[in-house]
Structure 1
């Protein structure tokens, strides 16, 4: 099996991580493109003594570090692997935007996404970030503290499975947010969004009357802007690369920590776009 065949199954999920890290599909995909270009240009440098997925993410982190650098006052500053400027020609035109994102996305957020969303162990996350496992644990704790300090949001849940909807509602309320309602169809979702404008939407893609959560979200976004997290058992329907994709995507069955991490990141970038 070729290196490309080993890496192919992991690319959709690397794109998910990249989008969650940057808060934008186009910028996230630019980092993934740079990662793949680095591997194509120097396949002999790809780490062969570790799991291919871990090696893929390590190369990505190298690209991220080479473009963004590390804040000197952050734990692990300067210790992330660097790709020797491979990304310069690929993402150079967006350097200013990426410098801003570097300030918005410190190591604690990376540690939280790697562990909670991507499912890496503390040891593997430490390998990717250039810190030890104990420091990863500290970084995750810092990120969770940031979550606790976040501005509270009104959340609309679009989910037709009652047990899952109840679980999501509990997670949302445990984080200190309010739930505006639980919609089980496309029409209900739009009506509830109009009745009480949410600050965040959690949406399944397959709803009770065979309507689509994707269409429901499209209806809502047609009336006002709001961050959206898709939670689905069918991620392949959204991770195709053939159309605009959600910035935040969680796969069912999900862990509560994964949902918390996605909510925190979605609200973080939403708040970051609002002038002080």
Structure 2
């Protein structure tokens, strides 16, 4: 059993990286609740057995490696069939079962979390070439799996057009771009999207979160990706928060990966502004 001093030391080391583990776990499972549960289980395992946190590695790499030890031994997450939200998650998990094993993990680690293929290999305990191969397989499998209508909520014209270009090149149709909460609700009413990409802070100081919640009240659950310059504010685990989150500045690969991941899930959790 680790001493109190060792536990405090580990908490200090891990604390800065925990929001990013939540982001990864949520995207991997498609759910804030399930992802946060896996992140919490990882922390509990490290505190019980500090040796699984490899101190010779960078803290973020060591933390994600410990997560993967838990993830690989726990098996696929399951959903409560009595809960409507969980039933949606269950359908998504069934869809994911058709993918090549370990490919989504490699894709998320390399694109959303920014790990090199060498570090992806360390986390997943495979060699560098296999990590790169898994990532490429994931991109091919997920991008050909489905296409749909994507709505963009973004007040900065250059960013909005950049996202438009990236997503349309993936084969998706863009229903339009909204710069304010009211415009977003009106646009969604005219053409129901299959996926929403939303900034948090909009042109008239309205909230992208409020806009999304308004749209979800109208249509029910839709996959949503939030884009923000301050991702840590939505990765606390203390309140309803997004399953899919991109930090500004983003890369083309991050947007492509997040869109492909989110399209695999039929629901997103609503947020409180």
TM-score, normalized by the shorter chain, greater than 0.5: yes
Pair 1:256 & 2:263 matched: no
Conserved in 2, the CA contact under 8 Å of 1:159 and 1:182? yes
Pairwise mapping of residues 17-32 of structure 1 onto structure 2 (< 5 A)?
17-32=24-39
SS, match of residue 222 in structure 1: helix
Alignment of 1:46-57 (within 5 A): 46-57=53-64
Q: Distance in 2 between matches of 1:93 and 1:215?
A: 28
What TM-score do the two structures reach when normalised by structure 2?
0.86
What does the per-residue CA deviation read over 1:50-72, in whole Å, with 9 as the maximum and x for residues that have no partner?
11111100110000001117xxx
1:196 aligned onto 2:191: yes
Q: Is the 8 A contact 1:22 1:101 kept in 2?
A: no
The whole-number CA distance in structure 2 between the counterparts of 1:219 and 1:66 is 39
Deviation at 1:119, TM superposition (A): 0.4
Spell out, residue by residue over 1:168-197, the C-alpha distance to the aligned partner (whole angstroms, 9 max, x if none): 000011100010000000000000001000
CA distance in structure 2 between the aligned counterparts of 1:113 and 1:6, rounded to whole angstroms: 23
Query: 5+ unaligned residues in a row in structure 1: which ranges?
Result: 70-90, 272-276
Q: Give 1:128 deviation, angstroms.
A: 1.2
CA contact (8 A) 1:68 1:99 kept: no
The 1:104–1:238 alpha-carbon spacing in structure 2 relative to 1, beyond 3 Å, is farther
Query: Does residue 103 of structure 2 align to residue 108 of structure 1?
Result: yes
The answer to whether the 8 A contact 1:160-1:183 is kept is yes
**Which is further off, 173-182 or 133-142?**
133-142
Q: Distance in 1 between matches of 2:200 and 2:123?
A: 32
Deviates more, 1:104-113 or 1:152-161: 104-113
Cα deviation code 1:116-141 (max 9, x no counterpart): 00000000101111211111111111
Aligned to 2:261: 265
How far apart, CA to CA, are the structure 1 residues paired with 2:94 and 2:142? Answer: 20
1:33 to 11, 36, 40: 40
CA drift of 1:268 comes to: 1.4
- Classify 1:66/1:203 alpha carbon distance in 2 versus 1 (closer, same or farther; 3 Å): same
Alpha-carbon distance in 1 for matches of 2:9, 2:94? 37
Q: Considering only aligned residues, what root-mean-square deviation do their CA atoms show, in Å?
A: 2.2
Give 2:214's aligned residue. Answer: 219
Q: Which residue of 1 aligns with 2:121?
A: 126
Partner SS, residue 16 of structure 2: helix
CA distance in 1, matches of 2:29, 2:122: 21
Change (3 A) 1:209 1:92: closer
Q: Is the 8 A contact 1:68 1:102 kept in 2?
A: no
Farther off after superposition, 159-168 or 39-48: 39-48
Counterpart-to-counterpart distance in 1, 2:198 and 2:79:
34
Comparing 148-157 with 234-243, greater Cα deviation is found at 234-243
Preserved CA contact (<8 Å) 1:154 1:178? yes
> In the comparison of the two structures, how many residue pairs are matched?
249
Q: Distance in 1 between matches of 2:240 and 2:98?
A: 23
Q: Which runs of 5+ in 2 are unaligned?
A: 1-7, 81-89, 268-273
- Give the match's secondary structure for 1:181: strand
